[in-house]
Amino acid sequence: MTATPILQVHNLSVAFETPRGVVHAVDDVSFDVARGETLGIVGESGCGKTVTALSLLKLIPQPPGRISQESRVLFDGVDVLSLEGEALRKIRGARVAMIFQDPVASLNPVLTIGEQIAETIRAHKPVSRAEAREQAILLLDRVGIPDPAHRYRSYPHQMSGGMLQRVMIAIALSCTPDVLVADEPTTALDVTIQAQILDLLRGIQDEYGMSLILITHDLGVIAEIADRVIVMYAGQVVEEAATETIFSQPAHPYTRGLIDSVPRVDQPQYQITAIPGSVPPASNWPSGCRFHPRCPYAWDRCETEPQLERSGSSSAVRCWLAVDTDKATE
Ligand code: SF4
Indicate whether 116 and 249 sit together in one domain. no
Ligand 1 center from residue 285 Cα (angstroms): 14
**In this structure, are 169 and 59 located in the same domain?**
no
Same-domain status, 154 and 190? no
Sign of CA dihedral 232, 236, 240, 246: negative
54 and 31 inside one domain: yes
Q: What are phi and psi of 320, to 5 degrees?
A: -65, -25
Q: Give the per-residue pLDDT at 195.
A: 84
Domain ranges, residue 194: 7-95+178-329
Pocket test for ligand 1, best of 233, 258, 275, 289 (most atoms within 8 A of CB): 289
> What is the number of domains present in the chain?
2
- Cα(147) to ligand 1 centroid in Å equals 54
| Cα radius of gyration rounded to whole Å, the chain | 21
Q: Is residue 1, in this structure, part of any structural domain at all?
A: no
What is the rounded distance in angstroms from the CA atom of residue 44 to the CA atom of residue 42? 7
Cα 157 to the center of its chain, rounded Å? 27
Distance 132 CA to ligand 1 centre (A): 54
Residue 2 lies in a domain: no
pLDDT for the residue numbered 185: 80
Give yes or no: residues 32 and 15 share one domain.
Answer: yes
Q: Which of 56, 48, 59, 42 is nearest to 184 (CA)?
A: 42
Residue 202 within a domain: yes
CATH number, residue 283: 3.40.50.300
| Rounded Cα–Cα distance for residues 75 and 79 (Å) | 6
Examine the domain organization and report whether 168 and 251 are in the same domain.
no
Q: Identify the pLDDT of residue 50.
A: 92
Q: Is 297 in the pocket of ligand 1 (CB under 6 A)?
A: yes
Pick from 291, 303, 304, 324 the residue to mutate for probing ligand 1's pocket: most ligand atoms within 8 Å of its CB: 291
Spans of the chain, pLDDT less than 50: 1
- Provide CB contacts within 8 A for 174, sequence distance 6+: 117, 120, 121, 124, 135, 136, 139
pLDDT in tens, 85-121: 888 888 887 789 888 877 788 888 999 999 999 998 8
Domain boundary among 130, 153, 174: 174
Say how far apart CA 156 and CA 223 lie, in whole Å.
31
Write down the pTM of the prediction.
Answer: 0.89
> Which atom from ligand 1 is nearest to the alpha carbon of 295?
1
- Say if residue 169 is in the same domain as residue 259: no
CA atoms of 238 and 316, how far apart (whole Å): 8
DSSP bridge partners of 30? none
Intra-chain end-to-end CA distance of the chain, in Å: 41
Q: Convert 173-210 to b/e letters by CB count within 10 Å (16 or more is b).
A: bbbbbbbbbbbbbbebbeeebbebbbebbeebbeebeb
Q: How far is the CA of 239 from the centre of ligand 1 (A)?
A: 12
- Residue 306 beta carbon below 6 angstroms from any ligand 1 atom: yes
State if residue 295 touches ligand 1 by the CB under 6 angstroms criterion.
yes
- Check whether residue 226 and residue 306 sit in a common domain: yes
Report how far ligand 1's centroid is from the alpha carbon of 316 (Å).
Answer: 14
Residues 158 and 266 placed together within one structural domain of the fold: no
Tell me what pLDDT residue 266 has: 65
- Separation of CA 296 and ligand 1 centre (Å): 8
